[in-house]
Amino acid sequence: MKWAKITSLCLTTLALFLSGCATDNGDSVGLNIGPQISSFFDSKSEAVVDENKIKLDVIIPVFDPGLSEEGSNYEEEGIWPELRRAEANRFAFMLKKAMENTEAFGAVRVTPDHTATGDLYVLGKIIESDGDDVEIEIKVVDISGRHWFTRSFDHDVDSSYYKSIRNKGKDPYTPMFEEAANRVALELEDYENTQFEKITRIAEVRFGVNMSEDAFSKMLTIKNGVATLISFPSEDDPMLNRTRAVRVRDQIFVDDLQETYRAFNVQMEPSYLVWQE
């Protein structure tokens, strides 16, 4: 029984270790466009990586665990809150690995929330996860605030999956994350390099505004929650170079954080795979 297996997971301490990372990302973007199930598009299409295009850096905040309001009967819903919060961290890390494997992006980083600076943000929410069926919602938005798409991805684990020795030690949810990563990579094909250049410059200016509003705020206009670049400093601008130096240190800190998420994922994996069975 799954509930009996849950007690052996010892995930409560692990979940609390990163409990501050399990945040609700659903309200972080002004646009709320209804999701489409993944079968509405051709999931078999493989993204083609254009090596001549700028590669965008991606931020994946820890997933929204999808827990309903306080007072809900989680047991009746088949949800163990601490496990779901742990999954919120694990799912973000699994999507990170899947997106890295496409080789279509720059640095892909998991972060506690969406306040870190990046070019592209992939906001995830767990809709269902019970070991047999899993569904997530993915919302993609760039640093300008422009909404790319919102989709649902799901996967049903075949009853024969756990019987094959070839699948030992593998996460049966992996195909769903690969599909989601491929879908984001496919979206890149609709953009030109000039658009990517604007996105990366907006990322630099927005980071600069955080350091010196007076120096950078006039370089952007914001309308309906979307930022538009109206100017950009020269490459030898002292303030730009100072902000770039600070941003490098900021990225190093976030890069170091990736080891924390990796270690958390490794530590919970053996017991989690047992629970999935």
pLDDT in tens, 71-83: 577 877 778 899 9
Which residue has tokens 């070019």? Answer: 119
Would you state the pLDDT for residue 48? 86
**How would DSSP label each residue in 41-58?**
S-TTPPP---TTSPPPPE
**How would DSSP label each residue in 137-199?**
EEEEEETT--EEEEEEEEEE--TTGGG-GGGTT--TTHHHHHHHHHHHHHHHTTS-HHHHHHH
Would you state the pLDDT for residue 1? 46
What are the structural domain ranges in the chain? 2-191+259-270, 194-250
Query: How many angstroms separate the CA atoms of 153 and 89, rounded?
Result: 17
| Residue numbers of the chain with a pLDDT score lower than 50 | 1-28, 30-43
pTM here?
Answer: 0.83
Joined together, the tokens standing for residue 224 give 């309906």
